[in-house]
Every structure is written in structure tokens, then in C-alpha cells.
Amino acid sequence: MKKSLPIFAGIAALTSLTSTAAFSQSLDTPWQDDPGFYVGGNYGYLKVDGNDDFDDDNDVLQGIVGYRFNRYFAVEGSAIDFGDYGNDISSADTDGWTAGVKGILPITNKFAVYAKAGQLWWETDYDVAGVSGSYDDESLFIGAGLSYNITENFLVNAEYTVYDADMDADTFSDDIDDADFDTDLKQASIGVEYRF
């Protein structure tokens, strides 16, 4: 075993040096710094964390358009269908639009991690104990993800985003008492992106 340790240490050191060299070379790709527009779409799982009436989960669809300034920074907007959630007594249907900034950290010329944050503008159609109406507001969001370049122009993404959408039923109607719908919309999704 003692004789094996120097061998393993040597292999680990060699692997580390090789990986570091490959890492440095893999980021030296001119197309990664090319600015330009991109479009994409996400499909995923939405978890609604609110009071008992509005705790739910369902599918979420998102269309994306953005502009990448370089390999590290982009601005992005999206349209989101959060779908229907709730139960027979209290239900809601929420749609939203976002604008935000995206910071990208390339790991290799194929893989990158990113984080993004910005503003969500949303509108909810609700029905609470027979009282129907609509309500709109704005909230903040924050997210993070991992992207993989299949080609120079085509990527796949995996992402997790939290939207802080506070809905207070007291503002919906004077007929509703003791109903506070402070809600977080948590989205886990996979998607595709095409860069022009």
C-alpha cells in the first residue's frame, strides 16, 4: 500500500496538470466572445409555496429572448405561463413577463454555470370561495443554472428559479377575511437556447 501511494499521487498530479492545461485551452474559443441575440424555451416543474389553499405544483412553460455581450454577461427577457394552481375552493392562473441580467462563468468550452436576477411582472386571475377577479403586481426573481453547448449556436440548459410573488387576498376583495396568499413560485426546468 505504501508503494502505491506515490503512484496514485503522481497520477493525481499529472491528471491535475493535464486538466488545468485542457481547461485553459478549452476556454480559448473565439466564438464564445461573439456578442449577439439568442432565443430559447424552458419546460419544467412549478412548486407554489403559499398558504394551504394555494400550495400546489404543475407544469410551467417559458419563452426567452436575450442578448449576450460576451462569454460572461447577458441581458434576458421572458414570457412565462405558470399555469393553474390551487383547489376547488381557491384557485389561480398566473402569467408573467421578466427582464433581468445574467452572469455566466464558463467552466470549459462546453460547460458553463450561470446566475440571473431581475424583475417579474405578473397577472393572476383568481377565484376564492366564489369571488373572482384579477390582480397584477411586480416581484423580484433569482435563479441559477448549468448550460451545455451542443454546437457553437445550440445549447441545453438546466435551471432553478425562485419568484417572490406576494398575493394578499385582502387587496383582492373586502369580502375575503384572513386570507394571506404570500406566495413563492419555484421553477425547476430544462430548456434549449439558440444563438444567432
Mark whether 25 and 39 lie in a shared domain.
Answer: no
Q: 143 vs 94, which has greater pLDDT? A: 143
Mark whether 123 and 147 lie in a shared domain.
Answer: yes
Confidence check: pLDDT of 178 > 80: no
For the chain, the residue count is 196
Domain span holding position 24: 1-31
Confidence check: pLDDT of 150 > 80: yes
Mark whether 177 and 94 lie in a shared domain.
Answer: yes
Closest CA to 76 of 95, 42, 103, 99: 99
Mark whether 138 and 105 lie in a shared domain.
Answer: yes
Query: What are residue 135's DSSP bridge partners?
Result: 124
Please tell me the total count of domains within the chain.
2
Q: How confident is the model at residue 129 (pLDDT cuts 50, 70, 90)?
A: confident
Sign of CA dihedral 9, 14, 15, 20: positive
Question: 183 with 168: CB under 8 angstroms?
Answer: no
pLDDT for 167: 60
Mark whether 76 and 100 lie in a shared domain.
Answer: yes
User: Residue 4 is inside which H or E element, if any?
Assistant: helix 4-26
pLDDT for 55: 54
Quote the CA–CA distance of 114 and 145 in Å, as a whole number: 5
Q: Could you read off the pLDDT of 46-104 as tens digits, one per residue?
A: 887 765 444 567 789 999 999 999 999 999 999 999 887 766 777 778 899 999 999 99
